[in-house]
Structure 1
Amino acid sequence: MKKLVVALAFISALGACRKDKDDEAKVDARIPVKVTIAQMQSISETIGGIGTVTARPGFVASLTAPAQARVLRIAVSQGQPVVRGQALVLLDPLPFQTASQGAQASLNAAQRAYDRAQRLVAAGIAPRKDLEQAATDLALARGAASTAQRTQALSTLRSPLDGSVTRLNAILGSFVDANQQLVEVTDTRALDLILTTTPANAAKIHNGALVRLAAGQSASGEALGSGSVASVSALVDSASRGVAIKVRAPSTLRPLRVGETFFGEIAVGTHAAVTVPVEALVPEGDQFKVFVVDASGIAHARPVTVGARTGALAEIKSGLSAGEKVVTYGAYGVEDSAKVIVGK
């Protein structure tokens, strides 16, 4: 009986010991994190915006059909480089030739009528008003013949400038109407990059400011190089309520295409500020917070106001002081007043 009591006492003591160790482990549980020190340093303020590559006025040509005709041949494709004078689209020349021949026949007849009226007036047989009418008819016939010749020449649409085919609406074998757009050519060396920002941001932007360019709709897209602000519109668009910023980029890392979407980061100034790495920011609704680690290894949630950002740093306008220790790696797994252990 004594042996049984001793055994039960031993088991009870062992269980209590294990429980104490488990409780101690729970009390001492710490979350591994990495930290950094908030620093006062210079930060470049940038304003980002999405824009579109457009053709610069005066460097784009839209070619239309001179009259109703059938598309006989298409000599280029969209995106193809072309040179001044190169044939782009050929229309069926027969109706143009017929019109030109008819206009020339009318001109010949008007010339004969004028010559006859001139002789009759000189002989005193016809009144002078007949000669004046013949002269008017001759002038009209000359104009019609000249127009028909120019129209016949335009049956072959040729590029008026060096550039690239940026739009091709012509369909082989189809009939087109007069003034219907068939092809567009743009000098791709003269492009404008137009992005839109808010009126408040536009007030901070000045001509000549550096603009970093990336393809797509974010700064993480393909790098395109850089440009500079050419002008800031004085008007607010009634639909978007935005202000247009015109950017010029004489040289880019690759050729840009009309209609291409890009993202621009405009440098608007440099100032001293409290900064932390962007990975220290934890979203909370539409605001942010950081976790500040005290001397006891306790992480405290601290709401902050974020200002300018660069690729790696964020300005903290309020809520944090220089020299305070903030969590970077592991911040999303930390809760307020949690114990943390700082790793290397």
Structure 2
Amino acid sequence: MLNRAGKLLSMALVLLLSACGKQEETVKVASPPSVSVITAEQISMEVREETIGSLEGMMDPTVAAEVSGRVLKVLVRQGQHVKKGQEIALLNPVDYQLQRREALSEVARLEALLENQQRSVERNARLVERNFISQIVLDDVKTQEIALRRQLEGAKSRLASIEHNQSKTRLLSPVDGTVESRLVAEGDYVKVGDPLFQIISNQRLRAHLPFPESIASSIRPGLEVRLNTPTSSVEIVSRIRELKPAIGAGNRAIDVLADVEDQPGWHTGASVSGVVVLGVRENVVVVPEQSVVLRPAGEVVYAISQDQAQAHQRVVRTGLRQDGMVEIIDGIQAGEQIVLDGAAFLTDGARISVQKEMSVQADS
């Protein structure tokens, strides 16, 4: 029995030692983590300021009644596109037609009186030449002629005013645009100044871009600004038209204005993103954002050893960030290889296996 127990114990020890050996062998053959690497390069970077603002329509007129009258017909509906000069509503013109007839009659009466008075002046002038009447009589009829001529001018002016008012019974669209709201219906009686339609035109828009007061000294009229809006895939390049003189009390921002003209798909009230280029910095060392990780020592990148088998931690000082790239002010030089994918899982001096080499241009 003792002999048998000893054999079992020996077999158990052999199995245990064999398992430990396999585990040690497994640990020894574990491969280092696979990473991709990239070379820090020098490029030119724009010094930008970005913001989000809104678009304001510069041609959004409210069409109001210029004369009083009852609405005979409304010719457009809400949401309809209209052209400049297109009829959008008709008011009852009967009152002005009657006034025009009356004014025409008055003009005709005065023209007849003036024609008769001119003949009278001619007759009296011949009589004065023959000394049949005095000069005073001639002067009197000439004065009457002048008075009739002035009355005729006044009557013609009144006729022109009536005809002008009659033309205002045809309401026309002042711009190309879309009917935003219709505030009148057929049969309504409107007075002078009553609003009837709101027309929105996107032919000329103004972008309001709030920028922080800290860069007020760097932004000036004439600088180039790149604009984008969610309602259009087209980026346009405009220029800063002006800066509002007051800084916003609520947000401490300066309001920068830029114009947008004749851009399909751009709409009043939509949001707009603006990018102002304040300058260009040459020979900037850049690396992709994912290669910069945060550690207790600060922001670091992992530089690759010459044999590409080990990663060494480098504390860096960063600057501009744009388009997925980070400016490295200090800590790494152009031409050095650093870890790209996998940097977040490394420590200083970690063994690595390089699987792929990339370039800044391809990555960006």
Alignment partner of 2:255 out of 214, 224, 244: 244
Partner residue, 1:39: 41
Output aligned runs, 1:169-184, within 5 Å.
Answer: 169-170=182-183, 172-173=185-186, 175=188, 179-184=193-198
* Contact persistence 2:204–2:262 (CA under 8 A): no
Alignment partner of 1:262 out of 239, 263, 272: 272
Following superposition, the deviation at residue 30 of structure 1 comes to 3.5
Output aligned runs, 1:153-192, within 5 Å.
Answer: 153-161=167-175, 163-165=176-178, 167-170=180-183, 172-173=185-186, 175=188, 179-185=193-199, 188-192=202-206
Partner residue, 1:292: 302
TM-score (norm 1): 0.67
Change (3 A) 1:171 1:240: farther
Change (3 A) 1:319 1:79: farther
Deviation per residue, 1:234-285 (Å, 9 max, x gap): 3322333221222234565x4422222221222221113221223435579x
Amino acid across the alignment from 2:83? V
Partner residue, 1:136: none
* Contact persistence 1:299–1:335 (CA under 8 A): no
Within the alignment, does 1:329 sit opposite 2:341 as a pair?
yes
Partner residue, 2:235: 224
Following superposition, the deviation at residue 43 of structure 1 comes to 0.9
* Contact persistence 2:100–2:159 (CA under 8 A): yes
TM-score (norm 2): 0.64
Following superposition, the deviation at residue 36 of structure 1 comes to 1.8
Deviation per residue, 1:275-298 (Å, 9 max, x gap): 1223435579xxx94432352623
SS at match of 1:232: strand
Within the alignment, does 1:64 sit opposite 2:64 as a pair?
yes
Deviation per residue, 1:61-83 (Å, 9 max, x gap): 32123458558414254361412
Partner residue, 1:271: 281
SS at match of 1:329: coil
Change (3 A) 1:12 1:181: same
* Partner Cα distance (2:261, 2:211) in 1: 22
Following superposition, the deviation at residue 105 of structure 1 comes to 8.2
Output aligned runs, 1:90-169, within 5 Å.
Answer: 90-91=90-91, 93=92, 97-98=94-95, 153-161=167-175, 163-165=176-178, 167-169=180-182
* Contact persistence 1:228–1:249 (CA under 8 A): no
Partner residue, 1:341: 353
Following superposition, the deviation at residue 158 of structure 1 comes to 0.8
* Contact persistence 1:292–1:324 (CA under 8 A): no
* Contact persistence 2:184–2:197 (CA under 8 A): no
Following superposition, the deviation at residue 51 of structure 1 comes to 2.4
Alignment partner of 1:307 out of 314, 317, 320: 320
* Contact persistence 1:54–1:194 (CA under 8 A): yes
* Partner Cα distance (1:246, 1:78) in 2: 28
* Contact persistence 1:299–1:340 (CA under 8 A): no
Output aligned runs, 1:25-36, within 5 Å.
Answer: 30-36=32-38
Amino acid across the alignment from 1:167? E
* Contact persistence 1:168–1:183 (CA under 8 A): yes
Unpaired stretches in structure 1, ≥5 consecutive residues:
110-140
Partner residue, 1:134: none
Change (3 A) 1:88 1:227: same
* Contact persistence 1:100–1:145 (CA under 8 A): no
Percent identical: 17
Q: Kindly report the root-mean-square deviation, in angstroms, between the aligned alpha carbons of the 2 structures.
A: 4.3
Partner residue, 2:214: 200
Partner residue, 1:52: 54
Partner residue, 1:117: none
Deviation per residue, 1:153-174 (Å, 9 max, x gap): 434321234x212632425458
Within the alignment, does 1:87 sit opposite 2:98 as a pair?
no
Deviation per residue, 1:189-243 (Å, 9 max, x gap): 33322222112234323444333332239xxx83433323333333322333221
Following superposition, the deviation at residue 319 of structure 1 comes to 5.5
Change (3 A) 1:191 1:341: same
Deviation per residue, 1:116-168 (Å, 9 max, x gap): xxxxxxxxxxxxxxxxxxxxxxxxx999998776555434321234x212632
Q: Matched residue pairs, number?
A: 300
Change (3 A) 1:34 1:150: same
Following superposition, the deviation at residue 100 of structure 1 comes to 7.9
SS at match of 1:190: strand
Deviation per residue, 1:284-332 (Å, 9 max, x gap): 9xxx9443235262363746433252x243323455544444433334x
* Partner Cα distance (2:21, 2:184) in 1: 89
SS at match of 1:233: strand
* Partner Cα distance (1:306, 1:90) in 2: 65
Change (3 A) 1:146 1:251: closer
